[in-house]
Structure 1
């Protein structure tokens, strides 16, 4: 007799529907040790392990995952968008926790989703570090915006100090000179000597920067005085940006060290792709995980949500835009990677950049996003081949394989 457990996971409790043949049994458990022990007794009542299905609900579903893995139970975990779509296709008319648990069990019966492939603890740690890095990046953007706001009252002209992207040196200068009057109080030699203590700034660079800083300070007309709170705000956010930047660097260092403990050359092979800096390579590895658990590259497309959706009704059968059902962080990383590969191709050729540029030239419209998605498909096939065959990227081999593929 087929037994399926559909579990609707929420913050503090979960609704469980045991679908036993044509009958069902429903119960509610707490998402803690006593609740999971209660679930264990329900699962142990069957001689053969039941099928278990639930939605990925972030931190809440991770507790259930950990429990099931600790006790050796396989499970299916669905992306919430995919689960909603399948449940809405004629199965669900009313939405409650009980009906969701029941319909999760029903769609497992209907679609027979494959069980989740468990990964090693190293990959899980890499993924956790990658998500932490992503959160710090979001915090960095917020801090930049708040620093900009504070400087509008104290020294807006300092934002013109460097023409290229601002980084650590700029933030250190802002932390020392958050108000234009502070620049005016120091003499030129004092500023030059201090600037030379910063990384990568020699005497000539320090002299030019000092001249520009003094010029900008004399142009400024501040809204507030040196003693006002906005000056402290500017200093605070400049220092916060430095701390966030340092923390992101330390996370990447930890990720690289962890990735190099894996029994393969995955990180090195990813770094061999033109345009893949170490940060991109290790984060792609962390988000995609062990690619050997996928039977083909199309499964990876579905995992990150760039597989095309499909609409079928009567005689109508058409492909829609990408599903966006999968790993959004991986999708964003790979999308940005296409731009990095294209930029690097000027000095380091790549067949993916060739494809991207040729499609842009032949396109009759400006829909470059679709071309980028198509390029991601090629990138995923390339990444999969490098990992499965444990080999670095080679432009000649890649272009030769492309020709063979197009002939077939």
Structure 2
């Protein structure tokens, strides 16, 4: 009898939480509609993730290039140098905003499955022998460039498959 009461209370609590999530989603949709931003046209970025990314970036004019936005997100590679030695096994720096990095990682993980250009780029990195996570990291860097261009130009994203993908 005690367990059935506890289960009923947990079910009511879950229903309450689901209702709160629906209310927050509705509020996020209202805010995103007033912002009128094309960030949600990017494959892998919906309303919630778009709001998350916009709140972390703020005004895009703070960044003069996509590389600086990538550094702010911590998606830039580390540098290993000493004298004339240049390391070749560099990792993602992770020195920037962990929240923005996580949001971009989620967007890129989805986009490599559904966006034709990022899917092709991801597959190119896999064919080069890169591990799965490293290839997603490369896709994250591409995603930062896409986000920067869309926000800077205030134009909708249209995926295009180039003849030759550059690094």
TM-score tier, shorter chain, comes to: 0.7 to 0.9
Indicate whether 1:364 and 2:134 are aligned.
Answer: no
* Contact 2:43/2:107, CA 8 A, preserved across alignment: no
Structure 2 CA distance for partners of 1:290 and 1:246, relative to 1, 3 Å: farther
Unpaired stretches in structure 1, ≥5 consecutive residues: 1-226
Deviation of 1:312 (Å): 2.9
Instruction: Please give the alpha-carbon distance, in whole angstroms, between the structure 2 residues aligned to 1:353 and 1:334.
Output: 16
Aligned to 1:236: 9
Which of the residues 17, 23, 27 maps onto 1:250? 23
Deviation of 1:372 (Å): 0.5
Indicate whether 1:331 and 2:97 are aligned.
Answer: no
Instruction: Please give the alpha-carbon distance, in whole angstroms, between the structure 2 residues aligned to 1:375 and 1:395.
Output: 14
Indicate whether 1:353 and 2:119 are aligned.
Answer: yes
Indicate whether 1:385 and 2:149 are aligned.
Answer: yes
* Contact 1:338/1:353, CA 8 A, preserved across alignment: no
Q: How many residues align?
A: 165
Q: Which has the higher helix share?
A: 2
* Contact 2:28/2:48, CA 8 A, preserved across alignment: no
Unpaired stretches in structure 2, ≥5 consecutive residues: none
Instruction: Please give the alpha-carbon distance, in whole angstroms, between the structure 2 residues aligned to 1:290 and 1:251.
Output: 23
Please tell me whether Structure 1 or Structure 2 has the larger radius of gyration of its CA atoms.
1
Aligned to 2:80: 311
How large is the RMSD of aligned CA atoms in angstroms?
2.4
Deviation of 1:369 (Å): 0.8
Instruction: Please give the alpha-carbon distance, in whole angstroms, between the structure 2 residues aligned to 1:233 and 1:326.
Output: 43
Deviation of 1:363 (Å): 4.1
Aligned to 1:374: 138
Instruction: Please give the alpha-carbon distance, in whole angstroms, between the structure 2 residues aligned to 1:357 and 1:372.
Output: 10
Q: Which has the higher strand share?
A: 1
Aligned to 1:291: 60
Instruction: Please give the alpha-carbon distance, in whole angstroms, between the structure 1 residues aligned to 2:86 and 2:95.
Output: 20
Indicate whether 1:321 and 2:91 are aligned.
Answer: yes
Instruction: Please give the alpha-carbon distance, in whole angstroms, between the structure 2 residues aligned to 1:356 and 1:373.
Output: 9
Query: Which SS does the other structure have where 2:156 is aligned?
Result: coil
